[in-house]
Amino acid sequence: MENLPFLSVVDLPKDKTAVVVIDMINGFAKKGALYSERIEGIIPYLVKTLPLFDGYQKVFFADAHNEDSKEFASYPVHCLKGTEESEVIEELKSFLDDNGTLCYKSSTNGFVSKDFAEWMMKNPEITNYVLVGDCTDLCVLQFALSIKGYFNEWNVTSNIIVPVQGVETFDLEKTNHQAELMNVFSLYNMRANGIQLVNDIRA
């Protein structure tokens, strides 16, 4: 993405902002049927960036499927509930202790999960959301468009922010899933729908 701005954390009020970490779990970033080296590759960026949000609300999404999950009609079996694959990666677990909430989901769109609905009801003042994680063209894209659409429907001013260094997707030759192409398509889609793309977030 060309000439994207940088964003300073000081521009995001702590009482109105949440960081959403999407699916940075073992089943995507460490091992399993949907593991991707590209997703593992953004871990250092998240480890560097999340400490900037000390004291901010944080939401961690984690896939947690039952064995008969309907999603397995579209994807290989992955991230079964109660398994190591469904756990937040070790590098990010400590951030759950800093105003963190773990939201389990069994679809690609965390916005429709029961856990997140309950969290939103308890935090109606949050209208700024910083999104990081995976996959850019699936869970990140769907959550971004859904939450932006929600605020638009209720005529609430919101700021949904995606630092492009903090999101990633996977390559898969057999389905012609080209990560670079999917990243570009998804980021442009988000920007066209009012999502703010930034190159990086700084102190």
Q: What is the pLDDT of residue 113?
A: 98
Q: Please, what is the end-to-end C-alpha distance for the chain in angstroms?
A: 22
pLDDT in tens, 96-111: 999 999 999 999 999 9
Q: What is the pLDDT of residue 58?
A: 98
Q: Which of 106, 12, 98 is nearest to 58 (CA)?
A: 98
Q: What is the pLDDT of residue 3?
A: 86
Q: What is the pLDDT of residue 176?
A: 75
Alpha helices in 18-72 (DSSP H): 26-29, 37-40, 43-49
**Class of the 6-202 domain?**
alpha beta
Domain ranges of the chain: 6-202
Low-confidence ranges of the chain (pLDDT < 70): 1, 173-175
Q: What is the pLDDT of residue 17?
A: 98
Q: Identify the H or E element spanning 67.
A: none
pTM of the model: 0.96
